[in-house]
Amino acid sequence: MYGKYRQINRFLELVEDVVKDYPSEDMHIVDFGCGKSYLTFILYYYLVEIKGYNVHMTGLDLKEDVIEKCNETAKKYNYANLHFELGDINGYEPKESIDMVVTLHACDTATDYALYNAINWNVGIIMSVPCCQKEVNSMIATDDLSILTKHGIIKERISALMTDTIRSNVLEYCGYKSQILEFVDYDSSPKNLLIRAVKRKNELPAEKKQEIKKEIDNLCEEFHIRQTLYDKIMERIQ
**What digits encode the pLDDT tens for the residues 20-45?**
999 888 999 999 999 888 889 999 99
In the predicted structure, residue 91 carries a pLDDT above the cut 70: yes
Region of poorest pLDDT, from 4-8, 77-81, 218-222: 4-8
Domain 2-237 has CATH 3.40.50.150: yes
Rg, Å, the chain Cα set: 18
In the predicted structure, residue 57 carries a pLDDT above the cut 90: yes
In angstroms, rounded to a whole number, what is the distance separating the alpha carbons of residues 59 and 124?
18
Mean pLDDT of 198-207: 94
Chain length of the chain = 238
Mean pLDDT of 146-162: 93
Q: Bigger pLDDT: 184 or 99?
A: 99
Q: What 3-state class would DSSP assign to 189?
A: coil
- pLDDT computed for residue 187 by the predictor: 61
Domain ranges of the chain: 2-237
- pLDDT computed for residue 226 by the predictor: 96
- pLDDT computed for residue 5 by the predictor: 72
Average predicted confidence (pLDDT) for the chain? 92
pLDDT band per the 50, 70, 90 thresholds, residue 108: confident
Region of poorest pLDDT, from 8-12, 118-122, 166-170: 8-12
CA angle 47, 52, 53 (to 5 degrees): 60
Taking a C-beta distance cutoff of 8 angstroms, is the pair 104, 117 a contact?
no
* Sheet architecture: strand order including 100-107: 82-86, 54-61, 26-32, 100-107, 125-131, 193-199, 176-182
pLDDT band per the 50, 70, 90 thresholds, residue 95: confident
Give 27's contacts (C-beta < 8 A, 6+ positions apart). Answer: 19, 47, 53, 54, 55, 56, 99, 100
- pLDDT computed for residue 185 by the predictor: 64
pTM of the model: 0.93
